Structure 1
């Protein structure tokens, strides 16, 4: 996510567009936006909508009995899918379904980990309360 912030700044300077009047005066730019800047901002927004959920469920998933190889596989695959999504969305734009595949893979990983946590939680709850 951090490098998308840097990329947004680079695109703003390249296309000479800023958001505020005072910035326009000092940067010799116009107030507004540019499609290239907006594309990077949408990629960043997508990261903001998806990565916090992974960080939360990823932390909780560490307390669920799962093989280490599976945890590593899920975490690294998620990381690569999100990096791939950002690249094909904001840096090297590829036609669909490239972005959709990257998004879908990361979504399925979070969904799987969430369901795994819920199922293990219900099983553990049932054992404790003799259901």
Structure 2
């Protein structure tokens, strides 16, 4: 493990992995914020202390809450594969400059995706940022498979 902590590629991966994981984790509190500010709750116990009439108003969906939840779900669908593939990629010993390019582009794409999604930016901003992240993950997966097939 000590050797890994000295590997610049692994440290770069660890840094970018931590950034995107923290970004993904912040989507939960962001959902809670939107629920409270938009008065949109999903569970009966969330509004248990309210009157029957208030409960009817609060137990509903809201487009902004659903938007944050879709963004969070998209993170789960993209960051988890990045973590797995990125770790394998880092362990194959790629060139530091190429690895940094992969990690930085993926991190930037996920941050831009969130800004585009939550900020309701016009397409193709969200679609392109999503696609860039997917391409980066596929590129790393291709590199891992190419390295493994050479053994």
Both proteins in one fold, TM over 0.5: yes
Shift of 1:67: 0.7
Segments ≥4 residues shifted beyond 4 Å:
none
1:68 aligned onto 2:68: no
**TM-score (norm: length of structure 2):** 0.77
- 1:58 — aligned with what? 86
The SS at the match of 1:17 is coil
> Partners in 1 of 2:84 and 2:103 — Cα distance?
12
Moved more, 35-44 or 11-20: 11-20
**TM-score (norm: length of structure 1):** 0.88
> Partners in 2 of 1:37 and 1:21 — Cα distance?
17
**Which of structures 1 and 2 has the larger relative contact order (alpha carbons within 8 angstroms, sep 6+)?**
2
> Partners in 2 of 1:41 and 1:107 — Cα distance?
20
Show CA shifts across 1:66-116 (max 9, x none).
Answer: 1111111111110110011011112x1111100011001100000000011
1:109 aligned onto 2:136: yes
Q: Structure 2: any 5+ residue segments left out of the alignment?
A: 1-23
> How many residues are aligned here?
123
1:12 aligned onto 2:35: yes
